[in-house]
Chain A
Amino acid sequence: MTAKTERSIPFIYKFIVAILALAGMFWIAMMLGATNTTIKDVWLALTSHVKNERILMIRELRLPREMAAIFVGAALATSGAMMQGITRNPLADPGLLGLTAGANAALAVTMAFIPSANYLYITIACFIGAAVGSLLVFGIGAMKKGGFSPLRMVLAGSAVSTFLYAVAEGVGIYFKISKDVSMWTAGGFIGTSWHQLQIIVPFIAIGMLISLFLSRQLTILSLNEEVAVGLGQKTMQIKAILFLAIVLLAGASVALAGNMTFIGLMVPHIVRTMVGTDYRFIIPMSAVLGATLMLLADTLGRTINAPYETPVAAIVAIMGLPFFLFIVHKGGKVLS
């Protein structure tokens, strides 16, 4: 009967609590950092036109950076949730199934061959790379009959990712741009500007909207492919649109923050224990929780060894690895 009592807390209350947690984390993230600021500074930076050194720092450096963390966290968590739903693979994550590595390689190639490429072009290259990377993984996974077993997908993902990272490195070394590439891919949210946000956020917003609109379809799809067809879903169509949304979200995340594994893996699993198996609830909750966790990771990155930065990808990985092992250990029983 636990299920009954659990369900008696309506989703909307849980969601409000999550939003409050996000707002709280945002506030903490804005206050802490290499430069100490006060609540008043943050308030003035957000609401007024007052200009002094600390307030400008908040407005032009910290605010865009934390906004980026919010959007990237939400995007990665949402795309992870969608991937887990479509593939019914509890280990699905944009970082594990080749999307991140693909975007990375595309980024390096673009920087090498079109040095003049502006931010929009690089972002689009990331989308293409993410699509190619994931198609490679799915292609290899599907080569053998009955091929989409969770572990084989992850193996294919790691093989393809390793290859694509090698491509990125090779291109970087050969064209002597490896420093630029790694600044981008390993840089996390350092130096995110309002200009970058203006370009990236619309893509993330579109991806999120698609995922919200199709969340009910995703629930049906996550049951079983044949059941979904039997219930009258056009599964090919739905999967194609969801795939587009995943590519937009994962590609945009790489363009903004570089490599980030595990957020997309972890968050949806945590969310399922809170709101159940219905993607109408999983998607929005994953977005909020993903944003909160990413803010936390970036804030830790900025503060544990201030004034030096600890790479946020490393912090996410440290938080995520035990989780990954836990899910592998459970053998997919926690599945979605």
Chain B
Amino acid sequence: MVRLYTKDLNIGYHEHLIVKNLNIEIPDQKITAIIGPNGCGKSTLLKTLTRIITPQSGTVVLDGKQIFNENTKVLARKMAILPQTPESPGGLTVGELVSYGRFPYQKGFGHLTKKDYEVIDWALEVTGTIQFKYRPVDSLSGGQRQRVWIAMALAQEMDIIFLDEPTTYLDMAHQLEVLELLQKLNVEQGRTIVMVLHDLNQAARFADYIIALKDGKIVKAGNGEEVMTRDVLKQVFHIDAEIGRDPRTNKPICLTYHLVKGE
């Protein structure tokens, strides 16, 4: 039995359902990517998995408990969220931002303990951002900033981290840097990673499990081999794709594509 799964999840308002009757299981200690066209409900699903949105019906279960009834601070020690392009207040330093990851462990006015400081430095170390500790977050590049936010999530000492398009607006090298960091967190520390991705080839390369959504429903869920097929991509993105193999990683890769014509 996996730790995190959804049960008959309906998300949306009244007649307008964004996600319909969804049952998914998130594999433990694996990297899961959610893909799909714009408006398919990827981000909405991610927000519901992290209790930001309350579903109309159905539920999300973590460790045998419905997350919407769980103590939210207790949840924050198990899961962390990285929203799409979060902005930080001007002048906030990297060290301060990462220290807020300790919030779920604090009471009252939140004085940091010795252990908190250790965890913060460790998180900065792991993400390779320790040298920026005293710099304002908004003075960093996009890729560095993204790593700092990941460090904040790590300071929560969570098991599961959710990311909404963590590579958006980054150049290719920085995209890879972020994804490799996430892979490292998964392989070395056994953390479960769930992310919405736009780039299919990145999903195929880094994710163990891919969930392809369209109109709020699962078209296909499985490993890269199973999801990155001509048929699935046609259904999900309405494209006619040529699938090949990445000569370096031997993972499936979308070489080129056309729009499906005549419909």
Contacts and interface: CB of A to CB of B under 8 A. Distances in A.
How many chain A residues sit at the interface, stated as a range, is 20 to 34
A310 B77 CA distance: 56
B103 A224 contact: no
Contact of B52 (A4, A216, A226, A335): A226
Contacts of B100: 219-220, 223, 227, 231
Interface in A226-247: 226-227, 229-234
Contacts of B50: 226, 229-230
Given A3-B93, A3-B135, A216-B110, A226 B83 contact: yes
A280 interface: yes
Nearest to B81: A230
A1 interface: yes
A216 B89 contact: no
Contact of A231 (B92, B104, B135): B104
Interface stretch (A123-131, A172-180, A270-278): A270-278
B92 A277 contact: yes
B83 A336 contact: no
A215 B89 CA distance: 15
A3 B137 CA distance: 11
B47 A226 contact: yes
B4 to A, nearest CB: 15
Contacts of A220: 100, 103
B81 A216 contact: no
Given A232-B73, A232-B75, A233-B103, A276 B91 contact: yes
B93 A231 contact: no
A222 interface: yes
A277 B47 CA distance: 27
Contact of B89 (A233, A280, A336): A336
B36 interface: no
B99 to A, nearest CB: 10
Contacts of B47: 226
B109 interface: yes
Contacts of A335: 89-90
A157 to B, nearest CB: 22
A227 B86 contact: yes
A51 interface: no
Interface string B91-103: 1110011001101
A333 interface: yes
Nearest to A279: B89
Interface in B86-132: 86-93, 96-97, 100-101, 103-104, 106, 108-110
The 3 A-B residue pairs whose C-beta atoms are closest, nearest first, are A232-B76, A230-B81, A232-B73
Interface of B: 47, 50-52, 72-77, 79-81, 83, 86-93, 96-97, 100-101, 103-104, 106, 108-110, 134-136, 156
8 contacts: A3-B136, A224-B86, A226-B50, A226-B83, A229-B50, A232-B72, A335-B89, A336-B89
